[in-house]
């Protein structure tokens, strides 16, 4: 009654604004809008799928039941989808039988409606184009729904504004990525995806993830895996930043894989300067002062060209909150196709909850949990550097190697991470030899310790460390002299063996001749 009185009053004051005339001439109330939909195209697409097998293959991965506006069409598409994944033939009869099996035939309009759908189309021509329009209408309806939810939540004073912003951006990001698939998938579909991934791994020589450029590490992890949270922890001065810079260089320069680096400690110019020092093998001190010789300027100009084309994106925002990180990461993935995110370092981040995060340990727990969620949401590996507690320094000189219990401020980091690793340089603690059977010198060497590996083995991997360039590299270990096979070497070996047996290689086996000893 109130609405009727309102519109009557509007008619008297402003007759034009009370109603809105559409382009087709149909008068409708301004608030009485019909949601975006294309029912006629839904009928055409479903009819084409039932008369042409090719049509099913073209749109089965584009549409989902929710993309259809009409409930009957959702049920029909679900029946077609089930038949497709069961590798059953798809036609008028099989779809009708599948609907009967689920008790949905009458809800879908019955056999007569299915017949009508097949009569609306002659072939599956342009079916993909029609399916894209249906999908666009679904996206528009989703935007309307999300916008309504955001408006409703915005009026709720109990909602935290940053949580609301993150929730809104997350939903909009899902739409922008056209993540229309449901979160539940049948085993057959998952097995097909797994087999495809195994084939891709075989073509990449066993690397299923992002290669770090460190051979032994890549062999252990098969590369950094999608949706994994990797923690790299160490005490100050061990070379955490140098390690991730060397790794970022390997990934972006050698493989042209886009990487995003969030630096909360150093400026972007400082990081690039360190990266230039590593790439050109010019000491960072010389680069800071600009005190370069003529040939060093030439070396700089030539070798830095590799970095200029590297898809490396650096963000040096100070006091980065987990909310800001998630927002920026989504945009970077959408805009530049980022495949790996590096954060330097975790303890400098804030939870961004306006003081509601509790103590620092709870805040770090929230950050690590959100980093894991971000890695899973974006389906890319996230690497976060972390500080270790001072407990390492209090131990005796012979036991400075880090342990999982040394992770600073929160045990939740160990729990949330898929891989927890440490960087250890004995040379930093004036330890001259490794504590193994070979007792090799530790000079210019580091150990990358994989202490937790949720999906694989753990190991200690030795790397080369060049401190003056801030650079980590593969360690080329010396395994003794290399024997090269040749005809001369083989003849000499035979000769030596003959002498050991007191046999002469010049022996004459004729019974009439005397035996002659070798002349040496």
User: Quick check: 37 pLDDT over 70?
Assistant: yes
Domain of 372, CATH number, reads: 3.40.50.300
**In the chain, pLDDT over 70 holds for what percent of residues?**
78
Q: List pLDDT tens digits, range 170-208.
A: 777 777 665 444 444 567 666 777 777 666 666 556 678
Question: Is there a domain that residue 423 lies in?
Answer: yes
User: Quick check: 381 pLDDT over 90?
Assistant: yes
| Pairwise pLDDT comparison (151 vs 508), residue with the higher score | 151
Say what the pLDDT of residue 510 is.
43
Q: Please identify, among 160, 176, 192, the residue that sits at the C-terminal boundary of a domain.
A: 176
Question: Is there a domain that residue 96 lies in?
Answer: yes
User: Quick check: 11 pLDDT over 70?
Assistant: no
Enclosing domain of residue 100: 39-176
Give me 259's structure tokens.
């990487």
Q: Are 92 and 115 in contact (CB under 8 A)?
A: yes
Q: Do 410 and 429 sit in the same domain of this protein?
A: yes
Q: What is the Cα–Cα distance from 342 to 383, expressed in whole angstroms?
A: 5
Question: Is there a domain that residue 321 lies in?
Answer: yes
Dihedral sign computed on CA atoms, order 207, 210, 213, 214: negative
Mean pLDDT of the chain: 78
Q: Do 171 and 45 sit in the same domain of this protein?
A: yes
Closest CA to 180 of 76, 72, 69, 63: 63
Residues annotated as catalytic are: 265
Say what the pLDDT of residue 230 is.
92
DSSP 122: S
Question: Is there a domain that residue 134 lies in?
Answer: yes
Q: Do 383 and 245 sit in the same domain of this protein?
A: yes
Say what the pLDDT of residue 496 is.
56
Q: List pLDDT tens digits, range 95-127.
A: 999 999 989 899 999 999 999 999 988 888 888
Q: Do 470 and 497 sit in the same domain of this protein?
A: no
- Give me the mean pLDDT over the 399-412 stretch: 76
Complete DSSP assignment for 233-270: EE-TTS-HHHHHHHHHHIIIIIS---EEEEESSS-HHH
User: Quick check: 328 pLDDT over 70?
Assistant: yes
Q: Do 457 and 516 sit in the same domain of this protein?
A: no
Q: Which residue has the tokens 């998952």?
A: 190
Question: Is there a domain that residue 186 lies in?
Answer: no
Q: List pLDDT tens digits, range 465-474.
A: 888 888 898 8
User: Quick check: 410 pLDDT over 60?
Assistant: yes
Question: Is there a domain that residue 190 lies in?
Answer: no
Say what the pLDDT of residue 43 is.
92
Q: Do 120 and 211 sit in the same domain of this protein?
A: no
Question: Is there a domain that residue 201 lies in?
Answer: no
Say what the pLDDT of residue 276 is.
84
pLDDT band at 84 (very low <50, low <70, confident <90, very high): confident
Say what the pLDDT of residue 477 is.
55
Complete DSSP assignment for 19-39: EEE-TTS-EEETT-PPPS--H
Q: Residue 251: which residues within 8 A CB-CB, separation 6 or more? A: 210, 211, 212, 213, 257, 259, 340
Domain count along the chain? 4
């Amino acid at each position: 009654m109130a609405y009727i009185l309102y519109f009557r009053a509007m008619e008297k004051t402003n007759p034009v604004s009370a109603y809105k005339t559409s382009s087709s001439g149909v008068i409708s109330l301004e608030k009485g809008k019909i949601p975006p939909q294309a029912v006629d195209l839904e009928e055409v697409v479903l009819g084409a799928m039932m008369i042409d097998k090719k049509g099913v293959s073209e749109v089965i991965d584009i549409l989902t039941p929710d993309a259809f506006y009409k409930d009957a069409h959702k049920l029909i598409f679900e029946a077609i989808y089930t038949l497709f994944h069961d590798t059953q033939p798809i036609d008028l009869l099989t779809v009708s039988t599948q609907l009967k099996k689920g008790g949905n035939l009458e809800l879908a309009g019955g056999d007569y409606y299915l017949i009508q759908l097949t009569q609306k189309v002659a072939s599956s021509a342009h079916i993909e184009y029609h399916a894209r329009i249906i999908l666009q209408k679904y996206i528009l309806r989703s935007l309307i729904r999300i916008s309504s939810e955001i408006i409703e939540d915005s009026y709720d004073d109990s909602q935290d504004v940053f949580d609301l912003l993150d929730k809104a951006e997350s939903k909009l990001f899902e739409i922008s990525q056209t993540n229309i698939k449901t979160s539940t998938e049948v085993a057959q579909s998952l097995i097909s995806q797994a087999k495809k991934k195994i084939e891709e791994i075989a073509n990449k020589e066993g690397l299923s993830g992002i290669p770090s450029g460190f051979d032994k590490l890549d062999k252990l992890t098969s590369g950094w895996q999608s949706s994994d949270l990797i923690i790299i922890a160490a005490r100050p001065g061990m070379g955490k930043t140098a390690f991730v810079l060397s790794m970022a260089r390997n990934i972006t320069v050698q493989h042209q894989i886009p990487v995003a680096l969030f630096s909360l400690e150093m400026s972007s110019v400082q990081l690039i300067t360190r990266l230039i020092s590593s790439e050109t093998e010019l000491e960072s001190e010389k680069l800071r002062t600009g005190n370069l010789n003529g040939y060093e300027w030439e070396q700089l100009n030539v070798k830095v060209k590799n970095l200029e084309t590297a898809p490396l994106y650096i963000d040096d925002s100070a006091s980065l909150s987990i909310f800001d990180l998630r927002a920026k990461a989504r945009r970077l993935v959408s805009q530049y196709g980022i495949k790996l995110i590096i954060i330097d370092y975790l303890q400098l981040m804030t939870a961004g909850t306006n003081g509601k995060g509790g103590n620092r340990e709870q805040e770090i727990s929230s950050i690590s949990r959100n980093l894991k969620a971000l890695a899973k949401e974006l389906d890319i590996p996230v690497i976060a550097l972390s500080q270790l507690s001072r407990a390492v320094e209090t131990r005796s000189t012979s036991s400075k190697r880090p342990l999982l219990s040394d992770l600073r401020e929160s045990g939740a980091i160990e729990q949330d991470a898929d891989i927890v690793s440490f960087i250890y340089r004995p040379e930093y603690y004036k330890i001259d030899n490794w504590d193994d059977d070979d007792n090799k010198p530790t000079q210019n060497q580091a150990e990358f310790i994989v202490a937790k590996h949720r999906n694989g083995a753990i190991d200690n991997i030795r790397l080369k460390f060049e401190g003056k360039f801030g650079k980590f590299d593969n360690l080329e270990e010396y395994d003794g002299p290399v024997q090269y096979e040749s005809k001369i070497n083989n003849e000499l070996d035979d000769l030596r063996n003959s002498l050991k047996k007191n046999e002469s290689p010049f022996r004459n086996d004729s019974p009439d001749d005397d035996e002659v000893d070798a002349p040496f």
